[in-house]
A and B are shown apart, each in its own frame.
Chain A
Amino acid sequence: MLIAFMAVGFLALLAAGFAAAWVTGELAKHSQAVSHTYEVELAIADTRRLIEQGETARRGYLLSPGTPRFLEAYNDAAKALPRAEKKLRQLTYDNPRQQAHIRKLEQHLRELQTLRGQSVELIVAGKVGEARELFQTEMSSARFREVRAVFDQMTREERALLAIRDAQQERSISLFYTVLVVAGLLLAAVAISALLVVVRYTGDLAQSREQLQQLNESLEAIVVDRTSDLSRANDEIQRFAYIVSHDLRSPLVNVMGFTAELEAATATLRELVEQAEQDAPDILTDDARLAAQEDLPEAIGFIRTSTQKMDRLINAILALSRQGRRVLAPETLDLMRMVSQIRDSMAHRLDETGARIDVVGNLPALVSDRVAIEQILSNLIENAVKYRHPDRPVEVQVSGAAGGDRVWIEVSDNGRGIDPRDHERVFDLFRRSGTQDQPGEGIGLAHVRALAYRLGGTITLRSALGEGATFRLSLPSTLSLQEKS
């Protein structure tokens, strides 16, 4: 739209420019024509003057032949006349009518010249009387009238030409003004339309910018909403886990307590059965003996181990939920030192099994929560030492590097490895993989993953059965505390 307007405006300007150039050309032509006309008029006047001058000089000489000045004047005029005539002819060569006039004039002039020559020669020869006679017969006044008439016609002719040219000039000027006015109007229209378009565009632009801003703001509001929804949901889950684990503990206290009471009672009963065995074996049935000595202790034993296991599981949930509620405190961490502290804390076990824990290269700088990172690393390292391959001594390697605004840390071992089918499962709570020959509840990696997520990180696993495992922890190099629960 705007481009179309600009094109129209440009064309109008171009037309105005062309019109101006054309008019300038026309004006130049006209002024040339005018000067030509004046030149012609001048030439006419010149010729006329010379003729009249020659005539006057001849007549003067005729009247007073003793005055040679008249003869000189006549000669001068007669000499100059052909040049003036020639000039006149040249100036009007493109005008056949003027040429015709000139031809007529020349005829008269030649006759006049001849007559004049004769009379002057007669005077020079001293025959003044003859000369005067000749002059009287030659009818010079009538000829002069004719000559004058021809000159007048020529002048009129030039004037007429000039008038035609003036009219042409006027027409071209008025045409120029018309073009100028049209171009001006067009330009004005274009300018106004362009202005309107620009104003509308600007309005549209401002409006869309406003819309964009509103959209942006509402987007922010939506994000804030969602975030608070999410953190509410997260809080809810945390509270739920906390309450559930608390409320589960309460009946468990009863189960364990009364189991203990039962055990104590069973002990009393067993003593009684043993006493009876000695004192009065005949009152004891086999069933009673079996119940007191085997069934009751066995049942109580199962209840006990089950409740103990349940207690451990509840404690694990409680620990996880507590971890989720803990306020994170980011600080600069020395990972090298942290790993060596973990190694020191396990020194006894490492010595026993001949296990080695090595840091490969330098570990990157990290700003994060100390407790969380410590728990993640010690869990991973303990697992690496715990799930060893039976045929080779344990070797654990800890490595890491920074890349962009993230940091990765890898803990890899040469242990028994994890079946690829279990790679997701091992991170689930209470799930374990491989031979269940080690104590544990399947809590560690679930805890590690929960912590990693909470720190804004991820944890991934590469492993194949029998070939060791590598856990890769990826964390933001600086923990930001946007999320506060």
Chain B
Amino acid sequence: MNAHQSVSIVMIEDDEGHARLIEKNIRRAGILNDIKHFLDGTSALDYLFNAPDGPMLNGPALVLLDLNLPDMSGTDILAKIKQSDGPVKRTPVVVLTTTDDSREIQRCYDLGANVYITKPVNYESFAQAIRQLGLFLSVIQVPDIEE
């Protein structure tokens, strides 16, 4: 990701505390990419598909998705991203949620999730997981919108 500084991280997370902790730990892992935070699904989808600086119209992105949102289920957002036409479809989606139900995990992968991570309640594990995610983000390649 270092090679693609323009890749922005879209974080869809209704819990501001979680969002802050995730951001802190990503930064601690040395990831400096721009993080856009959305508290609900509607505004996030609007950004993804319609914003002039969103991934649909401008540059690649990576989505961090929580499944428990106030206005819609995270799986709906996942389905909309993966079933859309255009560059957003290729945006990697990391599902980061408290749910560790195996059926839910299966469903997310079926819908095209790229990674599924359960938030550990234990903070040390949580922080560890996020930092590892940061390391992971630093090596994965995101499809370029221009290609």
Contact = CB atoms under 8 A, between A and B. Distances in A.
B18 A254 contact: yes
Contacts of A249: 98, 121
A22 interface: no
Contacts of B116: none
B98 A256 contact: no
Give the interface size class of chain B: 10 to 19
Contacts of A256: 121-123, 126
Contacts of B98: 246, 249-250, 253
B108 to A, nearest CB: 15
B99 A257 contact: no
B17 A257 contact: yes
A246 B68 CA distance: 9
Given A247-B68, A249-B98, A311 B122 contact: yes
Nearest to B125: A256
Interface in B31-83: 68
Interface stretch (A85-93, A258-266, A439-447): A258-266
A112 interface: no
A260 B121 contact: no
A222 B99 CA distance: 38
Contacts of B99: 246
Interface of B: 15, 17-18, 21, 24, 68, 98-99, 101, 119, 121-124, 126-127
Given A251-B17, A254-B18, A261-B24, 15 more contacts: A242-B101, A249-B98, A251-B15, A252-B121, A253-B17, A253-B18, A253-B121, A254-B21, A256-B121, A256-B123, A256-B126, A258-B17, A260-B123, A260-B127, A311-B121
Given A249-B98, A250-B68, A250-B98, A257 B126 contact: yes
Q: Name the residue in A250, A261, A314 with the highest tally of chain B Cβ atoms < 10 Å from its Cβ.
A: A250
B13 to A, nearest CB: 10
A260 B18 CA distance: 13
Contacts of B122: 256, 311
B68 A257 contact: no
A250 B15 contact: yes
B121 A258 contact: no
A256 B121 CA distance: 7
Contacts, number: 48
B18 A250 contact: yes
A446 to B, nearest CB: 21
Given A246-B98, A253-B98, A254-B15, A260 B124 contact: yes
Nearest to A254: B17
B66 to A, nearest CB: 9
Given A246-B68, A250-B68, A250-B98, A257 B15 contact: no
A254 B14 CA distance: 12
Nearest to B121: A311
Contacts of A257: 17-18, 21, 123, 126-127
B34 to A, nearest CB: 23
A321 to B, nearest CB: 10
Contacts of B24: 261
B121 A259 contact: no
Given A259-B123, A260-B123, A253 B68 contact: no
18 contacts: A246-B68, A249-B98, A251-B15, A252-B121, A253-B18, A253-B121, A256-B122, A256-B126, A257-B17, A257-B18, A257-B21, A257-B126, A257-B127, A258-B17, A260-B123, A261-B21, A311-B121, A314-B121
